[in-house]
């Protein structure tokens, strides 16, 4: 029996957040599979203005999170294009696992898209010495948990969550009033 050569498949069959030769992952297209960007140090992720959406709740979808971004250092997700993320678990999961050498661990989320998760809309954790900053100008919903969950594990590190006027944050615990910001140290 001959060996199969020249075939490789990622653990998620339809990865649409790719690193096209630069330092920023670009998410483009449509998928029902979790976009897995775990253990990507200093990951910068943005959306392509020509279209992007993930819905893991769709028939045949992977379930789980819509996007998972983790790694050491500065981790960021930017969507200025109002693209939706829908997930069985968490729409947008972002975590800095700690500092990456001289680069402080930090989390930055700036999104205008509607984020809906069965558990959380946004789940963001920073274990590094830098800040955690979330700006959500689109509706964020966590059906069984929180619309936005943010935790900075280093004492004295800044944590900021800002929502736009008219933005709805829906979940089991509503921590933020639309159109306001919250800061903690």
Q: What is the pLDDT of residues 54-112, one digit of tens each?
A: 999 998 889 999 999 999 999 999 999 999 999 999 999 999 999 999 999 999 999 99
pTM of this structure: 0.87
**Mean pLDDT confidence for 133-161:** 92
Characterise 73 by phi-psi region: left (phi > 0), alpha (psi -120 to 50), beta (else). left
Q: Is residue 148 part of a domain?
A: yes
Q: Is residue 9 part of a domain?
A: no
Q: Are 176 and 169 in contact (CB under 8 A)?
A: yes
Residue-range definition of the domain harbouring residue 161: 17-184
Q: Is residue 167 part of a domain?
A: yes
Q: Is residue 10 part of a domain?
A: no
For the chain, give the mean pLDDT.
Answer: 87
Q: 135 — phi, psi (to 5°)? A: -125, 120
Q: Is residue 4 part of a domain?
A: no
Q: Is residue 11 part of a domain?
A: no
Q: With bands split at pLDDT 50, 70 and 90, how would you rate the model's confidence at 1?
A: very low
Q: Is residue 5 part of a domain?
A: no
| Burial state string for 107-130 with b = 16 or more CB within 10 A and e = fewer than 16 | bbbbbbbbbbbbbbbbbbbbbbbb
Domain count, the chain: 1
Q: Is residue 6 part of a domain?
A: no
Q: What is the pLDDT of residues 97-114, one digit of tens each?
A: 999 999 999 999 999 999
The pLDDT value given to residue 14: 81
């Amino acid at each position: 029996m001959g060996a199969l050569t020249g075939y490789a498949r990622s653990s998620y069959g339809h990865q649409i957040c790719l690193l096209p030769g630069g330092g920023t992952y670009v998410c483009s297209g449509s998928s029902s599979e979790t976009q897995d960007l775990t253990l990507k140090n200093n990951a910068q992720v943005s959306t392509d203005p020509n279209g992007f959406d993930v819905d893991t709740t769709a028939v045949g979808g992977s379930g789980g999170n819509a996007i998972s971004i983790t790694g050491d250092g500065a981790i960021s997700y930017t969507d200025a294009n109002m693209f939706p993320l829908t997930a069985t678990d968490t729409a947008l999961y972002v975590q800095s696992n700690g500092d990456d050498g001289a680069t402080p661990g930090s989390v930055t989320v700036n999104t205008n898209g509607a984020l809906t998760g069965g558990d959380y809309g946004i789940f963001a954790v920073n274990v590094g010495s830098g800040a955690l900053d979330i700006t959500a100008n689109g509706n964020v919903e966590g059906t069984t948990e929180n619309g936005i969950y943010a935790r900075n594990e280093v004492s004295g590190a800044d944590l900021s969550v800002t929502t736009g006027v008219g933005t709805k944050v829906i979940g089991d615990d509503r921590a933020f009033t639309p159109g306001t910001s919250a800061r903690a140290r």
